[in-house]
Amino acid sequence: MFELLQEQPKDKILALMQMYRADTRTEKIDLGVGVYKNADGHTPIMRAVKKAEQSWWGQEDTKAYVGLAGDPAFSDVMIDLVLGDAVSRDKVAAVATPGGTGAVRQAFELIQMANPKARVFVSDPTWPNHLSILKHLGIETMRYRYFDSESGGVNFDGMLEDLNEVRAGDVVLLHGCCHNPTGANLTLPEWDAVIALLNDKGVTPMIDIAYQGFGEGLEADAAGTRAVVAGCPEVLIAASCSKNFGIYRERTGLLMGVYHDASRTSLIQANLAHLNRQNYSFPPDHGARLVTLVLQDPDLRADWESELEEVRKGMLDLRALLSNELQGLSGSDRFGFVAQHRGMFSRLGLTPEKVEELRERHAIYMIGDSRINIAGLNAQTVPILAKAIIEVGA
Ligand code: LMR
């Protein structure tokens, strides 16, 4: 049987991660995978998370299974964090998943179970793993224009024009905030226009929200998702705790299914739990437990929020620094969008050849589409990156 297996396409992000690790140059700069790093290049455990972990170590007295949907308290705190009061709790079905990717995967499978003919519309570009999972599941995928590489902003007219092609029963995948890979995001009036179009066409929105708190702040970053939930009859939301709680390897996420008629919530809940059972049975608990402890304890929560703000503001400072540096060296505002973008990423608009040259000549690693992880920089490396970008003639 194994001789029948074929090579699988390489994941661009993970392949770059390996190349970076294998590079022996000491001056190398990693702007690849979306993992937060402080100025020393370290991904710290957040203070509140560490305290919650210490306290849980003392309290935990069993490793028995929790439940197919995970701990309901985790669902409650996360629904509150992501959806606020946009919808009443009885209209939300939710299951814990292994990371945000687990939630995305389960959402796609639910779509396929509910309507095998549904097509999923994704932004062009989107996180490569969206495309890869959709392909793996054999779900027909359509792209809608999203990024204007000239301005570095959203091509909103193009987006609406392409979304006009949706049919009733299709699904439109939207990034809740901090668009990955571009860093360009919808304004609230644009969210409203998208909601009106989706309702008009009878399609289901699905939201991937993996960077809440990294853009404009915890509340502002959830505003688009909340508007969709308040304005559309049904919504799927995949939320990740990897980045905003810094618990990447704990694999902690939540899939939510919101439906306007609360009498169907238990059916949706049962389907989500069934999917968990088929795929991995019980979701991991440790990360979910830490998130619950942090969000339920006022002191831990306040400390987490303040550390998250430090992280967010640090990335904004780096954006301003890089944009200024590039302006000074290029004598133009060409890269002004870097300061406007929000979240962990910006797409610089460099050709794959320039990206390769930056890697080979300058040991600067970014994804081939010129996505950079802003948090991979610090005050010392910003000028190095800016100089290298200008040197390769980008
Ligand atoms: C990224 O986009 O770099 C992150 O979401 C990490 C990943 O799994 O790809």
> How many whole angstroms separate alpha carbon 388 and alpha carbon 295?
42
pLDDT digits (tens, 9 = 90+) for 349-368: 999 999 999 999 999 999 99
In terms of Cα–Cα distance, which of 259, 331, 372 is closest to 31? 372
> How many whole angstroms separate alpha carbon 31 and alpha carbon 373?
5
What pLDDT is stored for residue 328 in this prediction?
Answer: 96
Instruction: DSSP letter for 121, please.
Output: E
Q: With bands split at pLDDT 50, 70 and 90, how would you rate the model's confidence at 134?
A: very high
Give residue 121's identity as a one-letter amino acid code: F
Please give the average per-residue pLDDT across 33-49, as a whole number.
96
**Which atom number of ligand 1 is nearest to the Cα of residue 34?**
3
pLDDT digits (tens, 9 = 90+) for 165-177: 999 999 999 999 9
> How many whole angstroms separate alpha carbon 355 and alpha carbon 286?
38
> How many whole angstroms separate alpha carbon 123 and alpha carbon 6?
29
Given a contact cutoff of 8 angstroms between Cβ atoms, the answer to whether 236 and 83 are in contact is no
Residue 153 has phi, psi (to 5 degrees) of -110, -170
- Does any ligand 1 atom lie closer than 6 A to the CB of residue 242? no
Task: Tell me: pLDDT of 132 over 90.
Answer: yes
Cα–ligand 1 centroid distance for 191 (angstroms)? 24
What pLDDT is stored for residue 146 in this prediction?
Answer: 98
Instruction: DSSP letter for 62, please.
Output: -
- Does any ligand 1 atom lie closer than 6 A to the CB of residue 178? no
Q: With bands split at pLDDT 50, 70 and 90, how would you rate the model's confidence at 200?
A: very high
Q: With bands split at pLDDT 50, 70 and 90, how would you rate the model's confidence at 394?
A: confident
- Does any ligand 1 atom lie closer than 6 A to the CB of residue 180? yes
Report the mean per-residue pLDDT for the chain. 97
What pLDDT is stored for residue 370 in this prediction?
Answer: 96
Given a contact cutoff of 8 angstroms between Cβ atoms, the answer to whether 206 and 107 are in contact is yes
**243 catalytic per annotation:** yes
Given a contact cutoff of 8 angstroms between Cβ atoms, the answer to whether 350 and 389 are in contact is yes
Kindly tell me the sign of the dihedral angle through the C-alpha atoms of 387, 392, 393, 394: negative
**51 catalytic per annotation:** no
**Which atom number of ligand 1 is nearest to the Cα of residue 101?**
8
**Which atom number of ligand 1 is nearest to the Cα of residue 367?**
3
Cα–ligand 1 centroid distance for 13 (angstroms)? 7
> How many whole angstroms separate alpha carbon 264 and alpha carbon 375?
42
**Which atom number of ligand 1 is nearest to the Cα of residue 181?**
2
Give residue 288's identity as a one-letter amino acid code: A
Cα–ligand 1 centroid distance for 313 (angstroms)? 21
pLDDT digits (tens, 9 = 90+) for 324-342: 999 999 999 999 999 999 9
Query: Among the options 86, 93, 127, 238, which is catalytic?
Result: 127
Instruction: DSSP letter for 45, please.
Output: P
**127 catalytic per annotation:** yes
Query: Among the options 103, 210, 238, 339, which is catalytic?
Result: 210
pLDDT digits (tens, 9 = 90+) for 184-198: 999 999 999 999 999
> How many whole angstroms separate alpha carbon 147 and alpha carbon 154?
5
The dihedral formed by the CA atoms of 311, 221, 349 and 363, expressed in degrees to the nearest 10: 20
Instruction: Give CB contacts under 8 A, 24+ apart, made by 134-142.
Output: 134/108, 137/108, 137/109, 137/112, 139/108, 139/111, 139/112, 142/166, 142/170
> How many whole angstroms separate alpha carbon 92 and alpha carbon 262?
8
Question: To the nearest whole percent, how much of the chain has pLDDT over 90?
Answer: 99
Cα–ligand 1 centroid distance for 193 (angstroms)? 29
Write the residue with the smallest CA distance to atom 1 of ligand 1.
Answer: 34
- Does any ligand 1 atom lie closer than 6 A to the CB of residue 13? yes
- Does any ligand 1 atom lie closer than 6 A to the CB of residue 214? no
pLDDT digits (tens, 9 = 90+) for 273-326: 999 999 999 999 999 999 999 999 999 999 999 999 999 999 999 999 999 999
Q: Which two tokens stand for residue 65?
A: 């299974």
Please give the average per-residue pLDDT across 3-20, as a whole number.
94
What pLDDT is stored for residue 119 in this prediction?
Answer: 98
What pLDDT is stored for residue 122 in this prediction?
Answer: 98
Given a contact cutoff of 8 angstroms between Cβ atoms, the answer to whether 191 and 227 are in contact is yes
Q: Residue 294 in 3-state DSSP?
A: helix
**210 catalytic per annotation:** yes
What pLDDT is stored for residue 113 in this prediction?
Answer: 97
What pLDDT is stored for residue 393 in this prediction?
Answer: 84
